[in-house]
Amino acid sequence: MHALTALFHALDTQPEIPVETASRILFLRAQAHPGLEAFKDRLTCEQTWKPHADALVESGQRHTRQAEGKYDLILLLPDRQRDSILSDFARAHELLAEGGMLVTALHNDWGAKRMEQHLAEVAGEVQTLSKHHSRVFWATQPASWKTEVLEQWKAGGAMRRVLDGRFWSQPGLFNWDRIDEGSALLTEHLPHTIGGNVADLGASWGYLSDHLLRKCPNIRTLDMYEADARALECARRNTGLIPVPVRPRILWKDVTQGVGTASYDHVVMNPPFHDGRDADPTLGLKFITVAAQALRTTGDLWLVANKHLPYENLLREAFEHISLIAETRSFKVIHGVKPTLVTRQVRRKSRR
Ligand SMILES: C[S@@+](CC[C@H](N)C(=O)[O-])C[C@H]1O[C@@H](n2cnc3c(N)ncnc32)[C@H](O)[C@@H]1O
């Protein structure tokens, strides 16, 4: 939020940023802001993070997952991963028209100063403004930028094989080039009897789904939900290589908005606990609520979480039984079984 506010402060106060005159403006990793209204008819928004894309739509802006063409002015709000930021610079360079300007805003804690130096290495002169714990920096004359370095940056952010070629992934995704310790612990404890209709919430590039498809032959359908569109193609490739008849549905979705009611026999997840820059345990709580709603009355939830996260009270509310299946120094695996219809009816009667 700080970087977004700082970006619009720069647009309002820096006359050399041609926001009034640019005929085509692109906002990469765009987020909703009232200031966008002023140049809406000249604006293309690109966003791969579903909650931000939904917020753009709600605010009346259209968006695309992959912009094309050339732009006189590009605004960029990168995410926090270094290779991903550098590859955003390279991508912006490809999309800039001759004489166009790139304006980037980044929170100081995300290495803004270092990233500004990187941009200066390829672009020469860079202008800066510091505001709202962020830096806004801009550069022009893309024709003279150092293309060899930009090519390296582009390659550095590209989708590629990781973990000895076992999986496709991309910088910027959660634990993009390693298996999460918590997810590994969860897969050690998932029973191979998991079957029927299954959902993987926050599936990323598909580590948990890969395990489910390989080890659980009774699965009939598998739905993989993920907010980060960059993960979808990786997930498609990773699960596409598995020699089983089930083809998962890979869904670009903000899980906190719900994934249906009473449709799954099993939900498996390693829920997120960060929203952008900040730790946010309420995200995991929302995932648990959504999982409970999405499960059939006979369904169950398999969850791994960092040990300190306070999920147990809600789990006890939402599930008939919860059991701690495994625990390490850092993680816990929890199994939640939904109340059956019978137990609900018995409870209702005993309350009368
Ligand atoms: C802790 S990671 C787990 C990833 C993967 N399941 C694994 O085990 O390696 C949580 C995932 O949830 C995704 N995520 C975060 N917020 C989300 C939301 N609101 N809706 C859907 N997915 C979300 C993140 O992008 C991330 O891929």
Q: Is residue 47 helix, strand or coil? A: coil
> Residue 345: pLDDT band by 50, 70, 90 thresholds?
low
Tell me, what amino acid is at 297? T
Work out the number of other CB atoms within 10 angstroms of the CB of residue 64: 14
Domain shared by 142 and 203, yes or no = no
List the CATH number of the domain containing 256: 3.40.50.150
42 and 101 together in one domain:
yes
The pLDDT tens digits for 184-222 are 999 999 999 999 999 999 999 999 999 999 999 999 999
Helix (H/G/I), strand (E/B), else coil: 184: helix
- Copy the structure tokens of residue 229: 């569109």
Which pLDDT does position 80 carry in this prediction?
86
Residue that is written with structure tokens 């999920």 in the block: 311
**90 alpha carbon – ligand 1 mean position (Å):** 26
Of 156, 178, 213, the residue that ends a domain is 156
Q: How far apart are CA 27 and CA 73, in angstroms?
A: 8
Q: What pLDDT does 227 receive?
A: 96
Asked which of 116, 141, 156 is the last residue of a domain, the reply is 156
Identify the band that residue 238 occupies on the pLDDT scale cut at 50, 70 and 90. Answer: very high
Instruction: Please determine, for residue 340, whether its predicted confidence score (pLDDT) is greater than 70.
Output: no
Return the sign of the alpha-carbon dihedral for residues 10, 13, 17, 19.
Answer: positive
User: Ligand 1: does its nearest atom lie under 6 Å from the Cβ of 210?
Assistant: no
In terms of domains, do 80 and 183 share one?
no
What's the chain's average pLDDT? 94
Written as six digits, the tokens of 183 are 């997810």
Report whether residue 187 contacts ligand 1, using a CB cutoff of 6 Å.
no
Distance, in Å, from the CA atom of 61 to the CA atom of 183, rounded to the nearest integer, reads 36
Same-domain check for residues 130 and 207:
no
How far apart, in Å, are the Cα atoms of 301 and each of 198, 256, 297, 327? 10, 16, 12, 17
Q: Among 156, 188, 204, which residue terminates a domain?
A: 156
48, 174, 288, best to mutate for ligand 1 pocket (most atoms within 8 Å of CB): 174
With the C-alpha atoms ordered 42, 100, 82, 137, is the resulting torsion angle positive or negative? negative
Q: Which domain holds residue 267?
A: 160-350
Taking CA atoms only, the protein residue closest to ligand 1 atom 19 is 254
Does residue 152 sit in the same domain as residue 169? Answer: no
Alpha-carbon span 203 to 248, nearest angstrom: 11
For residues 218 and 289, state if they share a domain. yes
Q: Would you list the DSSP string of 209-277? A: HHHHHHH-TTEEEEEEEESBTHHHHHHHHHHHTS-SS---EEEE--GGG---SS-EEEEEE----EETT
Same domain, yes or no, for 177 and 259? yes
Does residue 228 have its Cβ closer than 6 Å to ligand 1?
yes
